[in-house]
Amino acid sequence: MEPPLLVAHLDQMRQWHATGATTEYSWRKQQLTVLKSALYSYEERLYEALYADLKKNKEEAWITEIGFTIAEINFALKHLQQWMAPQRVATNVINLPGKSYILREPMGVVLIIGPWNYPLQLLLAPLVGALAAGNCVVLKPSELAPDTARVLQQMIEEVFQGQYVKVVQGAGSDVIPGMMNLFRFDHVFYTGSTQVGKLVYEMAAKQLVPVTLELGGKSPCIIERDANIKVAAKRIAFIKFSNAGQMCVAPDYLLVHEDVKEAFIRELSKRIHDYYVADDYHSGKLISAQAFDRLVLYLQEGEIIFGGKINYEQKTISPTLLQNISPDAAIMKEEIFGPLLPVLTWTEEAEVYNTIQKNKNPLALYVFTGSAAKAKRWTTTIPFGGGCINNAGLHLTNHNLPFGGRGNSGIGAYHGKYSFHTFSHEKSILKTPTWFDPSFKYPSFKGKLNLFKRFIK
């Protein structure tokens, strides 16, 4: 769609939203129910598309994409009336006997920009929050996962009317500036790289458009000497090498206490072999030749202690563990986003802090330890978006927890009620009766200073 036609359509969405139809509970419930039904109807087509784009098997596609989104919808449907209800808050003394409450209203017409690594979930999970909050939504799926983008567009256009949910396809570098520079969205939600996130933020800032940025970062995983090695190895191997390591919350590097390094590497290597090497059913594929070439260069920056098999024809790299990496190596400065995992060691806590400080404010942090005191110290003294103690990645599956980063790893949060809040404006209301109207509230205030000090303190 040419920019003038697209802008005309966006203007129509704005006009339709202004009718107030989306403020009704019945409308919001219907849209969420329709989306849920559509995911079931398109389930097989989505499996095929996700396999074509990323070689995801059906089980992984259900857990991380389709089922994940349906669970998000179910949670929203269960709590939607409660979220929409006015929220009573306390009233300060000077405004008594008034009543105070918060109304949450839709932002308006919002833009959701999805990435390629979880091309369904990371586009539709924000959509759930946007519809629950009563917005009209423009969806921009990633062109790097074309099969999934095509099926999603078919599904959306079949079940939603274009005046309140529209899919826009095309190269993000062309389409997104074309929309944002010609039309003022009421909110922009972007998931992807920090580099592109900065560009989106800059475009939004020109028109004072609020944004949510779900970005990446180098998420560290700390292994204490008292960690349960077998459990840690299983949980790290499962998350890190799922989707060929192309996951924003995957551990980006390990910080293993020197005393348990050898035992941990043996156990981790065994688990990687069992999960992803002995049977490639759970092995995804790299998204592009460009990603493959970048990761091949990373392999040259350390000593391979497990894996490292390269297939240049198929553009694949087996799950790999690396050690003896220079702190100045590119693999330690950039988010890996692939099946490579550097293993660093430490003996003093200061070494851990110094390493993390070089890539501060990671999206996630993981700590494996048997000590509650150690877990508390690591999680309270290191700034990061969110994380786990004795687990990895699974904090994002809990709808009761906000998911988001800080600093270079993002702005804002979502999931569950936090998605609803992200796509809502909180409107403060004070309701004051007319039967109580004492004269001391009005001028002249001369001589009333002590009275004011009594009430305002």
Active-site choice (214, 224, 267, 335): 214
Active-site choice (60, 65, 221, 248): 248
Of the candidates 436, 238, 255, 240, the one whose C-alpha atom is nearest the C-alpha of residue 343 is: 255
Q: Mark whether 221 is an active-site residue.
A: no
Place of tokens 């078919």: 154
Dihedral over Cα of 362, 210, 123, 146: its sign: negative
Of the candidates 242, 232, 288, 243, the one whose C-alpha atom is nearest the C-alpha of residue 265 is: 232
Q: Mark whether 248 is an active-site residue.
A: yes
Q: Strands 220-223, 253-257: parallel, antiparallel or unpaired by DSSP? A: parallel
CB-CB contact of 352 with 257 (8 Å): no
Catalytically active residues are 214, 248
